[in-house]
């Protein structure tokens, strides 16, 4: 079991990825968590790192692939004028990976890979794909945090609706924003990762025993006794 967390060109993206790394390592005890910071890497270097990390011969169980960064209509916009094409990522690497994959794509046009999954014949039961938005819109990047909250609650992340900006709007107003849903494709394989998180113990709730009044027959003083015990 391993995780490959990829941060795009921006400090916010790196912060989100590093928080998720800590979450996986401390919460689930996953030792093999790799982080890629693409901002200062050449495109050739990015592909070299991807091929090494996704080498079928190095597979050791389910894979969590997470990208948090800028997105183009054709792939990950990892830095200025550098795009990792979804078509190549899927046909050359993910298609040949022998283990189940949970793929979290937190970027604009995030659902674009779905058409390549279908073209390549990737089986839905092998891939659990969670996209921040459909393949037509831009989006603010907060999917990683929402997935983390779901997994902390020991449940699969279900698509939610959130505020997005309409494409082509540089300075949006409320009339140019709308609620738009996340997108899922394939099986719900989240449990491969969230089931490793220990459940939080239930908090002890205090309850009071019934109020009891007794009468001392000697001096007729009323005595009240009560106690609190934990479940």
pLDDT tens digits for range 115-142:
999 999 999 999 999 999 999 888 776 8
The neighbouring-strand residues paired with 64 are 3, 102
The residue written with tokens 């900006």 in the block is 165
Q: Cβ(3)–Cβ(66) under 8 Å?
A: yes
Domains in the chain, please, with CATH? 2-202 (3.40.50)
CA 9 to chain centre: 19
pLDDT for 181 equals: 78
pLDDT for 48 equals: 96
pLDDT at 215 over 70: no
What is the C-alpha separation between 111 and 102, in angstroms, rounded?
14
What is the C-alpha separation between 20 and 145, in angstroms, rounded?
8
C-alpha distance across the termini of the chain, in Å: 38
The pTM of the whole model exceeds 0.85: no
The neighbouring-strand residues paired with 128 are 102, 186
| Residue 73 vs residue 174, higher pLDDT | 73
The residue written with tokens 């389910």 in the block is 62
| Residue 153 vs residue 222, higher pLDDT | 153
Please state the φ and ψ torsions of residue 113, each to the nearest 5 degrees.
Answer: -60, -20
Which pLDDT tens digit goes with each residue over 141-187?
689 999 999 998 889 998 876 555 444 544 444 444 455 678 999 99
């Amino acid at each position: 079991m391993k995780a490959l967390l990829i941060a795009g060109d921006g400090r916010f993206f790196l912060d989100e990825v590093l928080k998720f790394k800590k979450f996986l390592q401390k919460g689930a005890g996953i030792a093999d968590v790799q982080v890629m910071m693409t901002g200062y890497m050449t495109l050739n270097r990015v592909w070299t790192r991807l091929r090494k990390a996704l080498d079928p011969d190095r597979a050791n169980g389910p894979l969590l692939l997470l990208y948090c960064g800028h997105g183009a209509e054709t792939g990950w916009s990892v830095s200025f004028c550098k795009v990792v094409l979804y078509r190549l990522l899927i046909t050359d690497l993910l298609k040949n990976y022998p283990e189940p994959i949970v793929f979290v794509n937190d970027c604009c046009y995030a659902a674009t890979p779905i058409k390549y999954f279908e073209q390549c014949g990737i089986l839905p039961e092998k891939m659990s794909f969670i996209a921040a938005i459909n393949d037509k819109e831009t989006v603010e990047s907060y999917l990683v945090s929402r997935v983390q909250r779901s997994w902390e609650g020991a449940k699969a992340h279900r698509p939610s609706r959130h505020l997005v900006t309409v494409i082509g709007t540089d300075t949006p107003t409320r009339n140019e924003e709308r609620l738009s849903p996340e997108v899922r494709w394939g099986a719900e394989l989240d449990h491969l990762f969230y089931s490793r998180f220990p459940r939080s113990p239930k908090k002890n709730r205090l309850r009071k025993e019934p109020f009891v009044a007794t009468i001392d027959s000697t001096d007729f003083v009323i005595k009240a006794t009560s106690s609190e015990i934990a479940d």
